[in-house]
Amino acid sequence: MKRVIFHIDVNSAFLSWEAVYRLYHLGAKQDLRTMVSAVGGDMAMRHGIILAKSIPSKKYNIKTGESIMEARQKCPHLYLVPPNYGLYERCSKAFVDILHEYSPAVEQYSIDECYMDMTGTERIWGSPEDTANTIRNRIRDELGFTVNVGISENKLLAKMASDFKKPDRVHTLWHHEIEQKMWPLPVADLFFVGRATERKLRALGISTIGQLAKTDLEILRYHLKKHGEVIWQFANGLDVSVVQSAPERNKGYGNSTTIPFDVTEGSVAKLVLLALAETVGTRLRAAGVKAEVIAVGIKNSDFEYASHQRTLLNATNITKEIHAYAAQLFDELWDGKPIRHLGIHTSRIRDGYDMRQINMFDIDIDYEKLEWLDSTVDSIRKRYGIDSVKRACFVKSPIDHLSGGVSREKRSVDYSKLKIE
């Protein structure tokens, strides 16, 4: 049976969700999607980058990921709105809930895009194109925002198809359409071809996906190693990955944060690390796992990045233990330069019931008691809110006691303080 895979991508997701909320719940008169607008972080908190942009802003060459300062230089009248991740999570759930009505095999690839395996559903819903249009229209009519739907035999081509003309479109990219629809595109449009790879390919005289597809594979292996083989397969429409409705087990857990000010004292940096250890430990415990490798990353005020890791004798998810190892790694890594960004990352994830090997150097530490304490704190925070229990060292500190991930100021917006036009 011929496989049928959909890739559904929300058009300008954060900006679209913000626009719909303002129009239908806050009485806005203007639609952000029709304005030269963008969703951007808080420059005062040093999160000042463009997170999403409207289609009209493209004519000013405004790009996702660039700084707000750069975007303002290109377009001084750019209309900026703050991010609201709490709203985005609710919109994402509503969008995914609709998809589950059409197939049990839905893989959420990110907050604003999903894959669906629609193989064999033609007798239930009709042709792939008709079904895709039904889904697209339902999302627009019921939720107020638009999506693009790509259709093909595999995930790669479905994703490529959804990136064709936007917004609110359905596109197919079957194998017999590759030469016509995909091969003329710039090689940078191919999934997995970043800027560095694009430069290497152009140096080889390869500027389109079609040229890449026809290049001798040995040449690509010589210049790009294994990655050359992967992108050659993609250029030829080859992909054997399946839609995974159940998410894969995490290979690592981590969090990082950009600090609102340059940190020049080790004690302050270790306070930030404690806040990160709190969130990383909470995530590990919620998943019922422990980590055997802990790493610390530092980005200084010159944007230079360095990291250092350590393999532990015993896997752990205890906040105090994670922080202790992170502080040791920090002392070994930090060169004294002002710190802009800190992170804690873990890997070699083990089952939460992994036995602890007895260590003669810490026999006085009651790990069972520490695990019980963390579990109790997690339960209280889950029931009464994340601020219901806070370590005393954070009470009068400018450091958020639960740092990393989506920062607090991005989780909600006080719209009463904004001018809604």
39 near 33, Cβ under 8 Å?
A: no
pLDDT, position 367: 84
Domain boundary assignment for the chain: 14-84, 183-235, 254-407
Which one, of 61, 259, 237, lies nearest residue 150 by Cα? 237
Element (H, E) at 130: helix 128-138
Query: pLDDT 10s per residue in the chain (421 long)?
Result: 789 999 999 999 999 999 999 999 999 999 999 999 999 876 555 557 898 999 899 899 998 888 888 898 999 999 999 899 999 999 999 999 999 999 999 999 999 999 999 999 999 999 999 999 999 999 999 999 999 999 999 999 999 999 999 999 999 999 999 999 999 999 999 999 998 999 999 999 999 999 999 999 999 999 999 999 999 999 999 999 999 988 778 889 999 988 888 999 999 999 999 999 999 999 999 999 999 999 999 999 888 999 999 999 889 999 999 999 999 999 999 999 999 999 999 999 988 776 666 666 666 788 889 999 999 999 999 999 888 999 999 988 888 888 876 666 667 788 888 888 7
91 near 17, Cβ under 8 Å?
A: yes
The strands making up 79-81's β-sheet, listed across from edge to edge, are 50-53, 37-40, 79-81
Angular region, 123: left φ>0, alpha ψ -120 to 50, beta rest: alpha
String of DSSP letters for 311-368: EEEEEE--HHHHHHHHHHHHHHH--SPPEEEEEEEEEEEEETTPPPPP-GGGTT--HH
pLDDT, position 186: 97
pLDDT, position 358: 67
Which one-letter amino acid corresponds to residue 325? Y
pLDDT, position 69: 87
- Looking at residue 144, the DSSP 8-state letter turns out to be S
Structural fold of domain 14-84 = MutS, DNA mismatch repair protein, domain I (3.40.1170)
Cα 197 to the chain's mean position, in Å? 21
Which one, of 35, 68, 72, 70, lies nearest residue 54 by Cα? 35
Neighbours of 11 (CB within 10 A): 20
Which one, of 150, 154, 175, 178, lies nearest residue 164 by Cα? 150
To the query of whether residue 113 is one of the catalytic residues in this protein, the response is: yes
Rounded CA separation 15/25 (Å): 15
Selecting among 66, 113, 278, 371, the annotated active-site residue is 113
Rounded CA separation 278/172 (Å): 46
The bridge status of strand 106-110 relative to strand 254-263 is unpaired
Structural fold of domain 254-407 = Dna Ligase; domain 1 (3.30.1490)
Element (H, E) at 176: none
pLDDT, position 10: 96
34 near 21, Cβ under 8 Å?
A: no
Top-level CATH class of 183-235? Answer: mainly alpha
pLDDT, position 249: 81
pLDDT, position 160: 97
